[in-house]
Amino acid sequence: MTPKTRNTERPARQAQPHAAYLREALALAREAQQAGSSPVGAVLVDAQGTVIFRGRNRVGEPQTSRHVGGASVSHAEMDVFFQAGKLKNPQSLTLYTSLEPCLMCGGASALLQIGRIVWATADAWGGSGRLIAWDGHPAMQTTEVVACPDSELEREGAALFAPEAKKAFPDEGWALWRERYPNETADVE
């Protein structure tokens, strides 16, 4: 989807380039994959540009006292939100993810009034970008969306997640992935 900007006044948010944070989210995605979970990572960044929480998918790992795991809802963004507890000044925060959030995680981000959400790679099947009313709804009008701002990292994320997309999504979903990322999906077994 097209990145949005708005005219309304907003609290200050870090204005540094997105790439470094997306790289960190991608590194967490690889860590998740190595641990037996789905390759998705996320970092929450404050207005000064400091990473305050790091999360990754933990669906394939057991629950621990520190992390929600072993459940269908153990997505990277939820890992971040469970660690963060009650957010202070969420409008000042930016959530970076390696992959466009699903409906659950995008919905949580909108409901929590995260100021901005940035993802490396689009999820043509399960992504929430086109499914959520990010603005125009009184309860969810405060999240700015920046989709795929760095084409190199977008392709990197697509190649990383493509095997999971083929495994986890129905044929119809995989077809959408192949259409969106023909090069990155071409050699997936």
Residues at the site binding Zn ion, with contacts judged by CB under 5 A: 75, 102, 104-105
Amino acid identity at 10: R
Which of 52/104 has CB closer to Zn ion? 104
CA distances from 26 to 52, 98, 131 (A): 16, 5, 24
Which of 57/185 has CB closer to Zn ion? 57
Whether the CB-CB separation of 90 and 80 falls below 8 Å is answered with no
Closest separation in Å from C-beta 40 to Zn ion: 7
Active site positions, annotated: 77
**Tokens encoding 48:** 């000064």
Whether the CB-CB separation of 108 and 85 falls below 8 Å is answered with no
Closest separation in Å from C-beta 2 to Zn ion: 22
Which of 49/70 has CB closer to Zn ion? 70
Q: 102: part of which helix (H) or strand (E)?
A: none
Closest separation in Å from C-beta 116 to Zn ion: 17
Closest separation in Å from C-beta 102 to Zn ion: 3
CA angle, 140 as apex, 114 and 110 as ends, to 5°? 35
Whether the CB-CB separation of 69 and 62 falls below 8 Å is answered with yes
Which of 35/104 has CB closer to Zn ion? 104
CA distance 27 to 20: 11
